[in-house]
């Protein structure tokens, strides 16, 4: 059985993504770890077969820590992607009513995403920052005061918390994209994506246009383009790209070869099936 490492603890959206990647196995072998580098190291050393890490949120943008690990610190490949809806719940212990809540525990990011509900339904309630969406309900249940928490459904189930309100986030369409890292990427399926990055050895006009022209000429659809600092020279950037197609498909392979000729640094993160939900 594969061991799937993820950014823990249990009850987080990362665990939900790991379970989704496991494909509905009733009892997948999951390994919660304390940090993104720990997940990467677990795969590199064989402690885990696959690692599931967040890479992009609809509202917050890219998870830069994951991107920088892929660019600078590991040769692991992306072998899959998982997109998880971010559903937020207000939970408490049994018997506590909404009007009685005196303190709210929440991860700061989740609190920001549920601002309207908190301002309208919990005005004046003191808020306490929690380290994770799974820690928040546990802390609320341990508080002697009438306390509530912003929680995932999974964390509510694990802690035995009672749900007071569902889908309390301001944006009900929010999702987070996760990638599955492994020693190798995925074989072609006919409906794939390829992720790669590149940089330039010198700063000159038209460099980026030249790369994008190669994709356009090959009729390859680019689904994502962003930049990260190179961490070597101020003002120098690494560009990250997602395209439709597998790196082993002839037209994609030829385009990537031509792009390599335009760049000073080039790295393919992997090819993998597009997430269908």
Residue 277 has pLDDT above 80, yes or no: no
pLDDT at 276 (0 to 100): 86
Output the CA–CA distances (angstroms, integers) from residue 268 to 18, 65, 195, 259, in the order listed: 23, 18, 6, 11
Q: Where would I find the beta strands (DSSP E) of 200-245?
A: 222-229, 237-244
Lowest-confidence pick of 8-17, 59-68, 232-241 = 232-241
Residue 80 has pLDDT above 70, yes or no: yes
pLDDT at 26 (0 to 100): 59
- Give the pTM: 0.91
Q: What are phi and psi of 72, to 5 degrees?
A: -110, -25
pLDDT at 195 (0 to 100): 98
pLDDT averaged over every residue in the chain: 94
Contact 251, 243 (CB under 8 A): no
Non-local (6+) Cβ contacts of 132 within 8 A are 9, 11, 12, 107
Contact 29, 3 (CB under 8 A): yes
pLDDT at 207 (0 to 100): 86
Q: What percentage of the chain carries pLDDT values higher than 70? A: 98
Residue 25 has pLDDT above 80, yes or no: no
Residue 178 has pLDDT above 90, yes or no: yes
Q: How do residues 89-148 score in pLDDT, each as one tens digit?
A: 999 999 999 999 999 999 999 999 999 999 999 999 999 999 999 999 999 999 999 999
- Coil, strand, or helix at residue 57? strand
Parallel, antiparallel or unpaired: strands 162-166 and 103-106? unpaired
Q: What percentage of the chain carries pLDDT values higher than 90? A: 88
pLDDT at 24 (0 to 100): 61
pLDDT at 233 (0 to 100): 82
In the block, residue with structure tokens 């990467």: 40
pLDDT at 204 (0 to 100): 80
In the block, residue with structure tokens 């720990």: 38
Complete domains list, the chain, with CATH: 3-85+174-182 (3.40.190.10), 89-166 (3.40.190.10), 192-271 (3.30.70.260)
When pLDDT is averaged across residues 210-219 and rounded to a whole number, the result is 94
Nearest one of 210, 214, 186, 185 to 75, comparing CA atoms = 185
Residue 231 has pLDDT above 90, yes or no: no
Q: In what order do the strands lie in the sheet with 103-106?
A: 126-129, 103-106, 147-151, 89-92, 162-166
List 129's β-bridge partners, or say none: 106
pLDDT at 201 (0 to 100): 83
pLDDT at 1 (0 to 100): 61
């Amino acid at each position: 059985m594969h061991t799937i490492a993820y950014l823990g603890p249990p009850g987080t959206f990362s665990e939900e993504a790991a379970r989704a990647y496991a494909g509905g196995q009733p009892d997948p072998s999951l390994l919660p770890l304390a940090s993104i580098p720990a997940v990467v190291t677990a795969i590199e050393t064989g402690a885990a077969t696959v690692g599931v890490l967040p890479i992009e949120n609809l509202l917050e943008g890219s998870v830069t820590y994951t991107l920088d690990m892929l660019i600078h610190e590991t040769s692991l490949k992306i072998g899959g992607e998982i997109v998880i809806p971010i559903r937020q719940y207000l939970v408490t212990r049994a018997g506590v009513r909404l009007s009685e809540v005196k303190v709210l525990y929440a991860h700061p990011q989740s609190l920001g995403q549920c601002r309207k509900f908190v301002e309208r339904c919990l005005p004046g309630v003191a808020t306490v920052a929690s380290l994770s969406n799974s820690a928040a309900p546990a802390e609320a249940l341990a508080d002697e005061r009438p306390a509530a928490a912003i929680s995932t459904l999974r964390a509510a189930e694990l802690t035995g918390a009672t749900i007071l309100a569902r889908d309390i986030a301001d944006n009900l369409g929010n999702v987070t994209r996760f990638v599955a890292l492994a020693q190798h990427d995925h074989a072609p399926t006919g409906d794939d994506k390829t992720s790669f990055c590149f940089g330039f050895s010198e700063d000159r006009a038209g460099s980026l246009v030249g790369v994008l022209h190669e994709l356009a000429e090959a009729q390859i659809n680019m689904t994502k383009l962003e930049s990260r600092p190179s961490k070597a020279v101020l003002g120098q950037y690494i560009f990250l790209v997602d395209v439709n197609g597998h790196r082993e498909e002839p037209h994609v392979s030829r385009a990537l070869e031509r792009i390599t000729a335009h760049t000073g640094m080039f790295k393919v993160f992997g090819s993998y099936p597009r997430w269908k939900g």
